[in-house]
């Protein structure tokens, strides 16, 4: 049975036959799909140990007091101002002229790396139910070298494999740039663009002790995301809910996600028992014989 697919995003020609949705709520992204860290409400909603965006401190230690060593940590604030398009923080140059043109306000300030090694600065870790598109918007004053790591499934940083590093210089990209990472393939032929759960770890990997300002993230997922307004499917798998049980029209691989995109249940069959889950809204995705169906369910 076919149903009309309703997306807030217009899909252009050449995209995959499967529908895509926003990972973040539509009310929180701009008209181009970017989530900017410019309000405390969005920061509280998406950033935290139990949230979609998890902050990862630098992977090295500094002496903050005599014989007291700590990992440098990231900070986040809607008031943080990053580098302008000219590569300077807002202020005045030696000639008295204003510098720091068109800076963005609101950012995760990623801790610097150790100058004697690389790829050990602060970062953010994202556990995604799938990945169709993923891009990061950043700024910096001088040279930084962000990296993207990841892998299949829900991983901790220690299990993530390196995918790619990206050298970002002052004046190259004019102090601000975005970096699309979903299609980059590493030496093991892995890329983040997957229809199954993936982990993405974006890290400040410079070797010159510079802070990096992460201003925004744009993320699309396969099937349904938290930004899709309605239940939809375009295939021959029917999903029905009766209380805390989900029944399918055929045997399929069933995956259940919470609204933060984290997988909470996975099984194969025609019936899924959701009695172990807490009350709230969940996303049920079923896959069988090349068909995909996705539906929101409310558990009370």
Q: Using one digit for the tens of pLDDT, what is the confidence trace for 75-111?
A: 999 999 999 988 888 888 888 888 888 899 999 999 9
Average pLDDT over residues 238-259: 87
117 and 157 share one domain: yes
166 and 271 share one domain: no
With respect to residue 5, please indicate whether it lies within any of the assigned structural domains.
Answer: no
> In angstroms, rounded to a whole number, what is the distance separating the alpha carbons of residues 162 and 186?
7
198 and 69 share one domain: yes
With respect to residue 144, please indicate whether it lies within any of the assigned structural domains.
Answer: yes
pLDDT in tens, 145-181: 889 999 999 899 999 999 998 877 654 555 888 999 9
Q: How far is CA 74 from the centre of its chain?
A: 17
192 and 294 share one domain: no
Length of the chain, in residues: 300
Find the helix or strand (DSSP H, E) in which 53 lies: strand 53-56
What is the DSSP code string of 185-253?
A: --TTS--S-BSS-EEEEEE---SS---EEEEEEEEEEES--TT--S-EEBSS--EEEETTEEEEEEEEE
What are the phi and psi torsion angles at 172 (to 5°)? -75, 120
166 and 252 share one domain: no
With respect to residue 189, please indicate whether it lies within any of the assigned structural domains.
Answer: yes
216 and 257 share one domain: no
239 and 282 share one domain: yes
pLDDT at position 169: 62
DSSP 8-state secondary structure symbol assigned to residue 50: T
Q: How many CA atoms lie within 13 A of 72 on its CB side?
A: 19
Q: Quick check: helix, strand or coil at residue 174?
A: helix
Pick the more confident residue, 8 or 300: 300
With respect to residue 77, please indicate whether it lies within any of the assigned structural domains.
Answer: yes
With respect to residue 3, please indicate whether it lies within any of the assigned structural domains.
Answer: no
CATH number, domain with residue 261: 2.60.40.3080
Count the domains in the chain.
2
Domain that holds residue 255: 235-299
pLDDT at position 224: 54
Residue 10 has pLDDT above 70, yes or no: no
Considering the chain, what is the average pLDDT of its residues?
83
174 and 283 share one domain: no
With respect to residue 7, please indicate whether it lies within any of the assigned structural domains.
Answer: no
203 and 110 share one domain: yes
With respect to residue 12, please indicate whether it lies within any of the assigned structural domains.
Answer: no
64 and 86 share one domain: yes
Cβ atoms of 255 and 274 closer than 8 Å? no
211 and 271 share one domain: no
Domain boundary among 222, 255, 283: 222
What tokens does 181 get? 């990472």
> In angstroms, rounded to a whole number, what is the distance separating the alpha carbons of residues 245 and 53?
30
With cut-offs at 50, 70 and 90, classify the pLDDT of residue 117: low
**Sequence-distant (≥ 6) Cβ neighbours of residue 212 within 8 angstroms:** 109, 110, 112, 121, 138, 139, 140, 144, 146, 204, 206
Which of 14-53 are b and which e, b meaning 16 or more Cβ less than 10 Å from the residue's Cβ?
eeeebbbbbbbbbebbeeebbbbbbeeebbebbbeeebbb
Domain boundary among 169, 187, 222: 222
With respect to residue 291, please indicate whether it lies within any of the assigned structural domains.
Answer: yes
Domain boundary among 222, 248, 283: 222
Cβ atoms of 57 and 76 closer than 8 Å? no
CATH number, domain with residue 78: 2.60.120.260
pLDDT at position 225: 55
pLDDT in tens, 209-234: 788 999 999 999 987 555 433 333 34
Q: How far is CA 170 from the centre of its chain?
A: 25
């Amino acid at each position: 049975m076919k149903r009309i697919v309703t997306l807030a995003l217009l899909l252009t020609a050449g995209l995959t036959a499967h529908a895509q949705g926003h990972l973040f709520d539509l009310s929180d992204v701009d008209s181009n799909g970017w989530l900017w860290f410019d309000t405390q409400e969005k920061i509280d909603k998406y950033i935290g140990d139990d949230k979609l965006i998890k902050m990862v401190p630098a992977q090295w230690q500094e002496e903050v007091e005599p014989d007291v060593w700590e990992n440098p940590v990231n900070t986040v604030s809607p008031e943080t101002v990053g580098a302008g398009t000219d590569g300077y923080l807002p202020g005045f140059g030696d000639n008295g002229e204003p510098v720091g043109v068109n800076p963005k306000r609101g950012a995760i300030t990623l801790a610097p790396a150790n100058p004697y090694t690389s790829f050990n600065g602060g970062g953010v870790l994202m556990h995604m139910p799938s990945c169709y598109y993923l891009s990061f918007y950043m700024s910096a004053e001088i040279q930084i070298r962000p990296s993207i790591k990841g892998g299949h499934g829900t991983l901790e940083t220690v299990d993530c494999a390196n995918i790619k590093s990206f050298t970002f210089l002052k004046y190259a990209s004019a102090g601000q740039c975005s970096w699309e990472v979903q299609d980059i393939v590493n030496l093991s032929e892995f890329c983040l663009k997957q229809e199954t759960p993936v982990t993405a770890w974006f890290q400040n990997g410079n070797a010159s002790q510079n802070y990096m300002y992460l201003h925004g993230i744009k993320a699309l997922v396969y099937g349904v995301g938290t930004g899709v307004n309605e239940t939809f499917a375009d295939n021959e798998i029917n999903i029905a809910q009766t209380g805390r049980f989900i029944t399918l029209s055929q045997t399929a691989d069933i995956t259940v996600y919470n609204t933060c995109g984290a997988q909470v249940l996975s099984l194969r069959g025609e019936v899924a028992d959701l009695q172990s889950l807490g009350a709230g809204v969940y996303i049920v995705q079923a896959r069988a014989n090349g068909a995909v169906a996705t539906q929101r369910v409310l558990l009370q």
